Chain A
């Protein structure tokens, strides 16, 4: 069984610079989600380019090789080509590739991927950001990332002058039973705690319902002009 859902919200901004899409094929799915970095201009162009190009190029079976890294580099070059002096567009990117019982993911920036099982949160990607680095150095806790003063400072991004350095996970073999994946921009995970994600997952019959419950929490918490928020969710049920 495999189900997919997505949602996006402009929040308190004038433009939604987030973008997400998915591509399904027999026995598998590829989901891509990106967050254009607003302070550089053209963020909505960069995020849409990143997602659509990746899905256009991705083919079943590619998760087993190193080709996905090349796709990222290609995206990075295209973003750089569209940059101007006044518009140094950049974007994060997080991708989930699932085929049968195998999954793999790749990310660059602070958009996240969470993997849940029936036992709760199994894994999440680590942000390429200043607060995440502070956690790695023992200066703050994971819990303090959300309220860190440099929370919006991203250390890696597509279109960055330092080049694109995406992080590719190993190929994972999923155990039997239920698995849920959540891909989301920082405008989403900032307001929804991991425990809340898990609580809402426990009462959701579908990815769409899961996202809806979490969005309700987000809307209750936001004050003032909150960031765009976007999330995509996948349910996988591997038979016993």
Chain B
């Protein structure tokens, strides 16, 4: 929920009061005055021209009201046979005065509403690091992690041995191109049969539709996970999920778009006491055990090939380190057929207290492994908050979108 700040309202005037004025065009007091005026007009009609003002009207109008009374007396017209249906000049003048009195308030109300609207637009348009936006961006997602301030309790299902926390922030970029999803972990049947699936995808910003592609990849994996039975090992099932994501993205891009857009993807399934994983691109999966952080997957970046060439003596180490394409992805969803996939063959046994971290490069390219590890020493919800605060403290002008999902195995 987005709260509109009260900035822009007149001092001493609440936003609610201002809005009410704008909607009704008058205050409650003034409405009563009008009714008094109407009654006075009706009485005047009945008395054929005699204008009487109520006491309230006199108070509001002050000397003017008195003058009107005098004018009325002075300009009293002789009785006619037909009653007048048009407001008299006095009545018109009075009405005009009342309008002039309330119009500043009306104008002020309009200005305040406009100011609030502009401020809201500005806030949405220029989100800064430090503001936490936690919303799962998948159609198949059924839960919303709550890391808005004061609501950072990690989700725990009664029967689930896993607690989950997440961080999802646009950083200092124009738009959010990371996506993530977690399966219906509160569904006991699904959990028993298939476990818990967590996915993080990082849309490639320099290419087309990074946000759309990352979202589609996550949705495709989620849908496959929920809809299809597990045949074979979970490792194989993850491979089928990845294939579904690849097909979805390739279909979206079309033959002309292959290679022009893409996303990384890391996914983990925790089932029983084991976990399986799969990854494409440069997002990372870590295992945190006994206060030690260990990377699980390999990244698919050109740096790996450059370093191997340097090791073989084909190029110098300096050439390898300074190559401008060093960070380029060598495998990603959206390139057509995947060149490389990093995945496990055999499931890994979990220990009580283990944490599995899935993250986009916006996290680890700002925070060191030591900083990430230090954050994991705290209770789960604080760990996620520490990751976010740690990145905010660096105040990088080009801070990338960053996303992390943390699964803690309770045993």
Contact = CB atoms under 8 A, between A and B. Distances in A.
Answer yes or no: do A and B interact: yes
Interface of A: 118-120, 143, 178, 193, 195-196, 198-199, 201-205, 213, 216, 219
Contacts of A213: 298
Contact of A199 (B287, B290, B311, B343): B287
Interface in B262-321: 287, 289-290, 292, 294, 296, 298, 311
Q: Is the interface of A mostly helix, strand, loop or mixed?
A: helix
Contacts of B296: 199
B294 A203 contact: no
A50 to B, nearest CB: 29
A202 B287 contact: no
Contact of B346 (A178, A196, A219): A178
Contacts of B298: 213, 216
B287 A195 contact: yes
A120 B351 CA distance: 10
Given A143-B290, A193-B292, A216-B298, A198 B348 contact: yes
Interface string B127-160: 0000000000000000000000000000000000
Given A202-B344, A203-B342, A203-B343, A196 B349 contact: no
B345 interface: yes
B348 A202 contact: yes
Nearest to A205: B345
Given A203-B344, A216-B298, A120 B292 contact: no
Contact of B349 (A119, A193, A219): A119
Contacts of A119: 349
Given A119-B349, A202-B347, A216-B298, A195 B342 contact: no
Contacts of B311: 219
Give the interface centre of A119, A195, A202 by most chain B CB atoms within 10 Å. Answer: A202
B378 to A, nearest CB: 20
A219 B211 CA distance: 35
Give the interface centre of A178, A193, A195, A213 by most chain B CB atoms within 10 Å. Answer: A195
23 contacts: A118-B347, A118-B349, A119-B349, A178-B346, A193-B292, A195-B287, A195-B292, A195-B294, A198-B348, A199-B287, A199-B294, A201-B346, A202-B344, A202-B345, A202-B346, A202-B347, A202-B348, A203-B342, A203-B343, A203-B344, A204-B345, A205-B345, A216-B298
Contacts, number: 36
A120 B274 CA distance: 11
Give the interface centre of B289, B347, B348 by most chain A CB atoms within 10 Å. Answer: B348
Nearest to B276: A202
Interface of B: 287, 289-290, 292, 294, 296, 298, 311, 342-349
A196 B122 CA distance: 47
B225 to A, nearest CB: 20
Contacts of B343: 203
Contacts of B287: 195, 199
B344 to A, nearest CB: 4
A193 B294 contact: yes
B172 to A, nearest CB: 29
Given A195-B287, A199-B287, A118 B294 contact: no
Contacts of B342: 203
Give the interface centre of B287, B311, B342 by most chain A CB atoms within 10 Å. Answer: B287
A97 B385 CA distance: 51
Nearest to A120: B349
A123 B300 CA distance: 33
Contact of A118 (B290, B292, B346): B346
A202 B347 CA distance: 6
A196 B294 contact: yes
Nearest to B291: A143
A201 B346 CA distance: 8
A17 B211 CA distance: 54
A178 B342 CA distance: 21
Given A119-B349, A193-B292, 16 more contacts: A118-B347, A118-B349, A178-B346, A195-B289, A195-B290, A196-B294, A199-B287, A199-B296, A199-B348, A201-B346, A202-B345, A202-B348, A203-B342, A203-B344, A203-B345, A204-B345
Nearest to B347: A202
Contacts of A196: 294
Contacts of B349: 118-120
Contacts of B348: 120, 198-199, 202
Contacts of A193: 292, 294
B268 to A, nearest CB: 12
Nearest to A116: B346
Contacts of A199: 287, 294, 296, 348
Nearest to A198: B348
B298 to A, nearest CB: 7
Contacts of A143: 290
B338 to A, nearest CB: 16
A143 B298 CA distance: 25
A107 B83 CA distance: 123
